[in-house]
A and B are shown apart, each in its own frame.
Chain A
Amino acid sequence: AQSVTQLDSQVPVFEEAPVELRCNYSSSVSVYLFWYVQYPNQGLQLLLKYLSGSTLVKGINGFEAEFNKSQTSFHLRKPSVHISDTAEYFCAVTNPHSGAGSYQLTFGKGTKLSVIP
């Protein structure tokens, strides 16, 4: 079984400042990793995902994340945030070796990013 820990429940940051949202995972097998964003009163939208290959993954809206296998981390970063980035961010993991059709995302508890003008 896998699990995800998002170390910060809330992260306030000033507009145009950089931000890092932390995510650590636990799994006995290799995993796929995802970051989703949830804007207020909306569903979740994929920001980026790591499947294999380059450990630095670039996503939408200027976000990127780095997979670190030795530290079992997948932290999300953005060099300069905007007011519109205010949202809840979820890290998620899945086991690519599950039986066909039984893949499920295990989510962290989310980090609320608040961008301060």
Chain B
Amino acid sequence: DTAVSQTPKYLVTQMGNDKSIKCEQNLGHDTMYWYKQDSKKFLKIMFSYNNKELIINETVPNRFSPKSPDKAHLNLHINSLELGDSAVYFCASSRQGAENTIYFGEGSWLTVV
């Protein structure tokens, strides 16, 4: 039973399109995240949601918008895709508290052509 699942796993799309990546966790966690991993494997947090409220919003373009319909879901919507958006996007979740382990999904490979 997958703890953090995200779909699609692979996505190839053209510049200018709008796309969404869905994420669900069945761990009962109250905090969810989106991380971006670039081609050099560097990981950086994009968003954090705690109890459906945006807590962290790193300096990402406003073309990226997280949407959380409930505590178990945090979707990522991207408008007007650009070549530089090509990356692996990881959804993750944890219990509230810095000491708690963050559980990651398997990633969504986005390629913009």
Contact = CB atoms under 8 A, between A and B. Distances in A.
Interface string B20-45: 00000000000101000000111111
A112 B107 CA distance: 18
Contacts of A104: 33, 45, 48, 56
B96 interface: yes
Contacts, number: 67
Interface residues of B, number: 28
Q: How large is the interface on A (under 10, 10 to 19, 20 to 34, 35 or more residues)?
A: 20 to 34
A32 B41 contact: no
Interface in A85-117: 88, 90, 94-96, 98-105, 107, 109-110, 112
A45 interface: yes
Contacts of B33: 104
B98 A107 contact: no
Nearest to B109: A41
Contacts of B53: 101
Interface of B: 4, 31, 33, 40-45, 48, 50-51, 53, 55-56, 90, 92, 96-99, 101-107
